[in-house]
Amino acid sequence: MHYVYVLKSRKDDKFYVGYTEDLIRRFKEHQEGKSISTKNRRPLQLVYYEACTSKRDALIRERYLKSAWGKRYIKNRVKNSA
pLDDT at 79: 81
- Residue 82: the pLDDT is 57
Q: How many domains does the chain have?
A: 1
Residue 44 domain-assigned?
yes
- Residue 17 included in any domain: yes
Q: Which domain holds residue 6?
A: 2-77
pLDDT at 81: 63
Dist. CA 36–CA 80, nearest whole Å: 28
Asked if the structure places residue 82 within a domain, the reply is: no
**Phi, psi for 75 (deg, rounded to 5):** -60, -40
Task: Report in angstroms the alpha-carbon separations of 5 from 13, 23, 51, 61.
Answer: 16, 8, 9, 10
* 8 in any annotated domain: yes
Give the global pTM. Answer: 0.93
**What is the identity of the amino acid at 12?**
D
Give CA angle at 58 (57, 63), nearest 5°: 100
Per-residue pLDDT of the chain (82 residues; tens, 9 = 90+): 999 999 999 999 999 999 999 999 999 999 999 999 999 999 999 999 999 999 999 999 999 999 999 999 999 998 876 5
| CATH number, domain containing residue 68 | 3.40.1440.10
